[in-house]
Structure 1
Amino acid sequence: MTPPQPNLPQSALKLHRELDRVWGRPPGLRGILISVNHSELGLRFMIAAFVFFAIAGCLAMLIRAQLATPAGAFLDVGLYNQFFTMHGSLMMFMFAVPLLEGLGMYLLPKMLGSRDLAFPRLSAFGWWCYFFGGLILLTALAAGVAPDGGWFMYTPLSSKAYSPGINADVWLLGITFVEISAVAAAVEITVTILRMRAPGMKLTQMPLFAWYMLGTAAMMLVGFPPLILASVLLELERAFDWPFFDVTRGGDPMLWQHLFWLFGHPEVYIIFLPAAGAISTILPVMARTEILGYGAIVAAILGLVFLSFGLWVHHMFTTGIPHMALAFFSAASALVAVPTAVQIFAWIGTLWKGRPEMHLPMLHLMGFFSTFVMGGLTGVMLAIVPFNWQAHDTAFVTAHLHYVLIGGFVFPMMAAAVYWMPLFTGKAAVRGPGVMAFWLILIGFHGTFFLMHLTGLMGMARRISTYPDNPEWIWLNLSSSFFSFIMAAGFALFALDLILQWLFGAKSRRNPWGAKTLEWAMLMPAPGYNIASLPLPGQAALQIARGEGALPGAPRDRRETLVVDALSGEARHVAVLPSNSALPILSAAVIGGFVLLMLSSFYVAAGCWLFAVAAVFWQWQRWMGSAQGEDLIPAAPGLYLPVHHEVPDSLARSGLICLLIANGALFGCFLFSLGFLSVIAPNWPAPQSALPAEPALLLSLGLALCLVLSSLLARPRLGSGAGPALIILILALGAVIGLALILEDPTAHARNALRAAALGYIALHCVIAALLAGLCRVQRRDGRMAANRPGAAPVWRLWQDYTTVTALLLIATVGLQEGLS
């Protein structure tokens, strides 16, 4: 039960008990499995991310032990390749991104004055995908079949011919499984920030941390789909011999590099932005002043989001890129330092204006400044093409990467952990170990990676298990390995400090740092519902706790929160959020079963298993909507609002828009792949088809006509049925199958493989559109859809329009490609 709030009347305590009953979870294992509470899930993400960080750190120590001497016999080549691949993969995919997801999930509703995230079951689903995906990767590591092609998985070394085992498949399928969690978190965070703020909180009044997380979520929506597409294409090549990257059959390994780095470089800023958000939140508190340059920092965030997608080629300067492209991407790579510098100078100005107090979080921020700035300077060096040609694939690049990632992410995240630990646990810090841990980490880090700059400048390559007996390399590598163990001891002491605080720390006083952000106005640790009532403009924390804000208590015995206008923050309707459910873990387990079947090469069984995936997700709709209309709800004095299933602009529609943005990014990358291979790849144009063009043309036109008619029939008023459109969608799916039957062998040439993949994309979207149309029919039958209750109709219309537009674009692109060839 929630601990009683101090200095509250009995009526207010009753509100808290009522909220705890509605928003709490059952005790024991069952409660853990079915919980959808954002605080609990956020803590799970963060704890698991630190566990993966520890595992990846142990792998790094084994790597440094191998490199301590020139002919190290500590690891053989195969094991070394697995360890350095898993080190990078765990750090990037299992530590950095999940940690920022967890921090955002935990803090955002509290900072924004909401009771939960927009889609609680989606958050839980993302957690279980992350958990099961991590188990697959760790099981492969323990079994000796971990990925061994590097965390970048360059082709053709990762193709079936050169990696015949399942090592590469573990990476492709396991990481893609985990990326479901990242995309789910991006949708969740975006909709929460835009639609779930306290009433009256304008977009320009949000805490800076929310702006940083909004930029991060937007980058995740656009940045992760290229890697998902690349992983799917490479797995199709490995499993079914579709030659997307095979030069002899019209593919090109360079396509993998383009798609991977379209994700890989924005990933750096995806990691940096939440850390910068933590800095912009913690630094003013430690300096006892307001942040300097709020508007300039927001502009810098938007600039980073935009510029980060124009830099991917600077990882490919040595691959034969044309000189004009080299100049463009070199200039863009240098230009991105400008918005970063704006933030650095705003933070320095804040310190100059204030009276900094050197608490432990501030020490970690000083470690950030001393490390990240050096990493940024070496980044500008690597953006210059002649220098990049010399330093590429050397230890200099490894050192730069760690200066940026550890300096720009790990130090701020350690500051965040120390700063918000009283909020997580309700306990005060144990004095002493944290300061010692900081100095061990700082000294060990610079001793490890500063020296690697020197070995790189001397020509030492990266990703090697042994190296020549060069006298100038030996002592530098030995020293780097020595300092790496000092750094590891510091991280171990840091973890011990947090555990001691959690177990033995004294009870912390409310708001121990004297911060002004809303999360410190709650109980520590915060209850599942966060606050007794949602804050209205001008209200104090005690008024909110007494239930004098919006939606006090839980009088209707359900989980309610407010949805606002994205820009103005004006309250629009009341969202009734789902309670605890086993569907998220069941859905993740079913997808995990599909991944395991693919890993076992049971492809027919995996295809059949997709019916189970569809059946489980069909169950999600049972909760949606209401069979009866509802009166307006008294949300606050003088404010009466409808419930979400009575309005067309619901959270579900906002979430689908975000999902379609991610889907559109994947579609755009697929069009890029079509164009790239047809223009750049060897062995194009493809051999002319031996089949007559008329059947394919007729079926393509028929498919286009079916989709257009289906989309037009989705236009009636929202309460109408979906019967005609459902029939036409089925006809469209038949046209897709007909095209597939007359398609040439997709293993013969990359052109055929791309067309088969395009048909698969259209077919999948037609199936989902048909399921949504069927859902509309079910809701219509059950009375959950009427003229004043739109149900799933707005979602279906959006999906159907997207399916129509993308299918027509694919048909036009393939037709144009055929005409040009």
Structure 2
Amino acid sequence: MTNIPIEGLSLPTEKPHHESPGDWKRYFSFSTDHKVIGIQYLVTSFLFFLVGGIFAMVLRGELITPEADLVDRTVYNGMFTMHGTVMLFLWTFPSLVGFANYLVPLMIGARDMAFPRLNAVAFWMVPVVGILLMGSFFVPGGPAQAGWWSYPPVSLQNPTGNLINGQVIWLLAVAISGVSSIMGAVNFVTTIVKMRAPGMTFFRMPLFVWAVFSAQIIQLFGLPALTAGAVMLLLDLTVGTGFFNPANGGNPVMFQHYFWFYSHPAVYVIILPVFGIFSEIFPVYSRKPLFGYKVVAISSLLIAVVSAIVWVHHMYVSGTPGWMRLIFMLTTMFVSVPTGIKVFAWVATIWGGKMRLNTPMLFALGALVMFVFAGITGIMLSSVPVDVHVNNTYFVVGHFHYVLYGTVTMGLYAAIYHWFPKMTGRMYYEGWGKLHFWLAFIGTNLNFLPMHPLGLQGMLRRVASYAPEYEFWNIIASLGGFLLGMSTLPFIFNMVISWMQGEKAPDNPWRAIGLEWLVSSPPPVENFEEIPIVISEPYGYGKSEPLTQEVHSHATLTSVE
């Protein structure tokens, strides 16, 4: 058996037989194919994203006027809590796990994840979490109303007196979500460490794989704290233990430590894969090698390490002593160093490149711009005097949403458009994609930018009514929220119609470099006819003597100039 070297790869010429992928019914089955599970994650999480978005539009409808005149305050508190919970635990985490599921084995030259059945079990726990949370609307007292962080003693209040109530269901759902994510983290770390193709050393891995690896290390070390805290709070609420209940000798501030020890690093769990997406997209559409590949790879691990020592900046006003405030202010600011390395590398990659401003690149550029703005306000919030001044105001909400929507969701859209042809074998409609981008970009800034002056003026978050002097900025924010909600319509239309009857996609429509682009669109069940042999680093765009070579009759590499 001989090998054919192609742009950093050496593929065997032998062609074993593969079974054909199944029909649409496989997406409703207990499949162990990582690609099917990846799409199951993506579609399921997007459906919950729509639910969370509806909650958000109701909240913005309430806030368009100073008076609480749209929904009852109890309903408002429930929707407020469920909006944050759904968007975090049922949209951002599962959607990024879906992309990692689909892409990581392909990118490292593996046939599947290390533990396929565990992978399937981890996914099917996600709908269970969603059913529990949605079902909590129908129990006495309605869903949880203590916010997505559920601080005690507020979360320990049980006005209905029933053992089964919205807060109990919320805690059970969060605990199940935590177990699912831990199972996934074990699977990803094992797969990346043990199942790379021959020659795929750590410094030949694509940066998306580096980002997923770093994020899942955070999951393994941080998530048990949140899961344990949720279980302990559940016991306080149901059987009367005294972990966090001050009436029973508990310490409610300890729950904040359990919660934020994971929940701030969770931001990096979410955003690191998006950083990996940027690192994959910018070289493709700039036709340049990624600037500083090894430094960018190491910066992901550095972010994972530093993320473990920043959580107390959420607790500056929780009786935190001055010396502790100072330490965590410095560690929080230090996170900007490895993050800034990435931003400079992306800008250097784009600079002087032959940019193609199609839909994935537009979304990636828009997300990068909004991330830089979010990073500036993040540095402000790490400072003790500023954070104490704007604590619990809409300034924090605006910053958080520029990260979670402006960067993460826009980055996810970039990834969906970029890998849509590979996943479905169809091309999307470029015009609808660009319309989606501009509606989403304008809507995001109209929605979340006004929250910053509101916060600086002192408007508290988590309120259904407010003083009349805050009305102008709230009207702008609500109009932006409605526009943002409407922006999903061209996206849904584009994805559904394109998947059903779009133009058939070639194996490598973007002339990209990477193992996932060497296989057919969509890929065969076992990914590769023979495991590839990797012989160089990724991101060789624009290098001399590009090759055009047909491989296995279905994977064609074209000139990368």
Q: TM-score, normalized by length of structure 1?
A: 0.63
- Contact 1:243–1:250 (CA<8 Å) still a contact in 2? yes
Equivalent residue number for residue 491 of structure 1: 488
Equivalent residue number for residue 541 of structure 2: none
In structure 1, C-alpha distance between the alignment counterparts of 2:550 and 2:443, rounded to whole Å: 46
Equivalent residue number for residue 193 of structure 1: 192
Equivalent residue number for residue 70 of structure 2: 74
After TM superposition, give the deviation of residue 32 of structure 1 in Å: 4.0
After TM superposition, give the deviation of residue 57 of structure 1 in Å: 0.5
In structure 2, C-alpha distance between the alignment counterparts of 1:356 and 1:31, rounded to whole Å: 36
Alignment of 1:285-300 (within 5 A): 285-300=284-299
Percentage identity across paired residues of the two chains: 35
In structure 2, C-alpha distance between the alignment counterparts of 1:208 and 1:364, rounded to whole Å: 19
Per-residue CA deviations over 1:68-106 (Å, capped at 9, x if unaligned) read 001131111110011010100001111111111110010
Equivalent residue number for residue 751 of structure 1: none
- Contact 1:212–1:273 (CA<8 Å) still a contact in 2? yes
The structure 1 residue matched to 2:50, chosen from 49, 54, 79, is: 54
Q: Secondary structure at the match of 1:158?
A: helix
In structure 2, C-alpha distance between the alignment counterparts of 1:137 and 1:250, rounded to whole Å: 30
Q: Which moved more, 1:511-520 or 1:362-371?
A: 362-371
In structure 2, C-alpha distance between the alignment counterparts of 1:401 and 1:296, rounded to whole Å: 27
Equivalent residue number for residue 341 of structure 1: 340
Per-residue CA deviations over 1:304-344 (Å, capped at 9, x if unaligned) read 01111111100000111110001001111111111110000
CA RMSD of aligned residues (A): 2.0
In structure 1, C-alpha distance between the alignment counterparts of 2:371 and 2:246, rounded to whole Å: 40
In structure 2, C-alpha distance between the alignment counterparts of 1:12 and 1:296, rounded to whole Å: 37
Unaligned runs of 5+ in 1: 1-10, 548-821
Q: Secondary structure at the match of 1:393?
A: coil
Equivalent AA in structure 1 for residue 444 of structure 2 = F
Equivalent residue number for residue 181 of structure 2: 182
After TM superposition, give the deviation of residue 190 of structure 1 in Å: 0.5
In structure 1, C-alpha distance between the alignment counterparts of 2:506 and 2:245, rounded to whole Å: 63
Tell me: CA distance 1:264–1:251, structure 2 relative to 1, closer, same or farther (3 Å).
same
Equivalent residue number for residue 83 of structure 1: 79
Q: Does 1:523 align with 2:516?
A: no
Equivalent residue number for residue 741 of structure 1: none
Equivalent residue number for residue 123 of structure 1: 119
Equivalent AA in structure 1 for residue 76 of structure 2 = Y
Q: Does 1:481 align with 2:449?
A: no
Tell me: CA distance 1:517–1:142, structure 2 relative to 1, closer, same or farther (3 Å).
farther
In structure 2, C-alpha distance between the alignment counterparts of 1:174 and 1:31, rounded to whole Å: 23
Per-residue CA deviations over 1:459-511 (Å, capped at 9, x if unaligned) read 110001111233xx111111111111111111222222222221221101220
Equivalent AA in structure 2 for residue 44 of structure 1 = Q
After TM superposition, give the deviation of residue 201 of structure 1 in Å: 1.4
Tell me: CA distance 1:162–1:152, structure 2 relative to 1, closer, same or farther (3 Å).
farther
- Contact 1:279–1:365 (CA<8 Å) still a contact in 2? yes
- Contact 1:236–1:242 (CA<8 Å) still a contact in 2? yes
Task: Give 1 or 2 for the bigger CA radius of gyration.
Answer: 1
Q: Secondary structure at the match of 2:396?
A: helix
In structure 1, C-alpha distance between the alignment counterparts of 2:142 and 2:58, rounded to whole Å: 18
- Contact 1:245–1:256 (CA<8 Å) still a contact in 2? yes
Equivalent residue number for residue 322 of structure 2: 323
Q: Secondary structure at the match of 2:351?
A: helix
In structure 2, C-alpha distance between the alignment counterparts of 1:525 and 1:407, rounded to whole Å: 29
After TM superposition, give the deviation of residue 248 of structure 1 in Å: 3.7
Equivalent residue number for residue 272 of structure 2: 273
- Contact 1:425–1:524 (CA<8 Å) still a contact in 2? yes
The structure 1 residue matched to 2:508, chosen from 486, 508, 511, is: 511
- Contact 2:26–2:36 (CA<8 Å) still a contact in 1? no
Q: Does 1:109 align with 2:111?
A: no
Alignment of 1:540-559 (within 5 A): 542-543=550-551
Per-residue CA deviations over 1:93-148 (Å, capped at 9, x if unaligned) read 11111111110010011111111100000000001111112111122235572221
- Contact 1:531–1:544 (CA<8 Å) still a contact in 2? no
Equivalent residue number for residue 221 of structure 1: 220
- Contact 1:71–1:467 (CA<8 Å) still a contact in 2? yes
Equivalent AA in structure 2 for residue 206 of structure 1 = M
The structure 2 residue matched to 1:132, chosen from 128, 141, 154, is: 128
Q: Secondary structure at the match of 1:513?
A: coil
Tell me: CA distance 1:30–1:138, structure 2 relative to 1, closer, same or farther (3 Å).
same
Equivalent residue number for residue 426 of structure 1: 425
Q: TM-score, normalized by length of structure 2?
A: 0.91
- Contact 2:406–2:444 (CA<8 Å) still a contact in 1? no
In structure 1, C-alpha distance between the alignment counterparts of 2:149 and 2:493, rounded to whole Å: 33
Tell me: CA distance 1:314–1:487, structure 2 relative to 1, closer, same or farther (3 Å).
same
In structure 2, C-alpha distance between the alignment counterparts of 1:54 and 1:265, rounded to whole Å: 24
Alignment of 1:656-735 (within 5 A): none
In structure 1, C-alpha distance between the alignment counterparts of 2:71 and 2:448, rounded to whole Å: 21
- Contact 1:130–1:181 (CA<8 Å) still a contact in 2? yes
Q: How many residues align?
A: 529
Equivalent residue number for residue 531 of structure 2: 534
Alignment of 1:357-396 (within 5 A): 357-396=356-395
- Contact 1:427–1:502 (CA<8 Å) still a contact in 2? yes
After TM superposition, give the deviation of residue 33 of structure 1 in Å: 2.7
Equivalent residue number for residue 350 of structure 2: 351
The structure 2 residue matched to 1:98, chosen from 89, 94, 97, is: 94
After TM superposition, give the deviation of residue 369 of structure 1 in Å: 2.0
In structure 2, C-alpha distance between the alignment counterparts of 1:270 and 1:380, rounded to whole Å: 19
Per-residue CA deviations over 1:487-543 (Å, capped at 9, x if unaligned) read 111122222222222122110122000101110111111121111111124599855
Equivalent residue number for residue 441 of structure 1: 440
- Contact 2:218–2:304 (CA<8 Å) still a contact in 1? yes
- Contact 2:153–2:246 (CA<8 Å) still a contact in 1? no
Equivalent residue number for residue 9 of structure 2: none
After TM superposition, give the deviation of residue 164 of structure 1 in Å: 4.3
After TM superposition, give the deviation of residue 250 of structure 1 in Å: 2.6
Equivalent residue number for residue 29 of structure 2: 33
Tell me: CA distance 1:299–1:394, structure 2 relative to 1, closer, same or farther (3 Å).
same
In structure 1, C-alpha distance between the alignment counterparts of 2:287 and 2:448, rounded to whole Å: 34
Equivalent AA in structure 2 for residue 390 of structure 1 = H
Q: Which moved more, 1:163-172 or 1:498-507?
A: 163-172
Q: Does 1:416 align with 2:415?
A: yes
Tell me: CA distance 1:161–1:148, structure 2 relative to 1, closer, same or farther (3 Å).
closer
Per-residue CA deviations over 1:32-52 (Å, capped at 9, x if unaligned) read 433211110010001111111
Tell me: CA distance 1:356–1:164, structure 2 relative to 1, closer, same or farther (3 Å).
farther
- Contact 1:430–1:497 (CA<8 Å) still a contact in 2? yes
Per-residue CA deviations over 1:399-438 (Å, capped at 9, x if unaligned) read 0000111122111111000000001110112131111111
Q: Secondary structure at the match of 2:155?
A: coil
After TM superposition, give the deviation of residue 150 of structure 1 in Å: 0.4
In structure 1, C-alpha distance between the alignment counterparts of 2:279 and 2:478, rounded to whole Å: 34
After TM superposition, give the deviation of residue 31 of structure 1 in Å: 8.5
Equivalent residue number for residue 149 of structure 1: 146
In structure 2, C-alpha distance between the alignment counterparts of 1:241 and 1:119, rounded to whole Å: 39
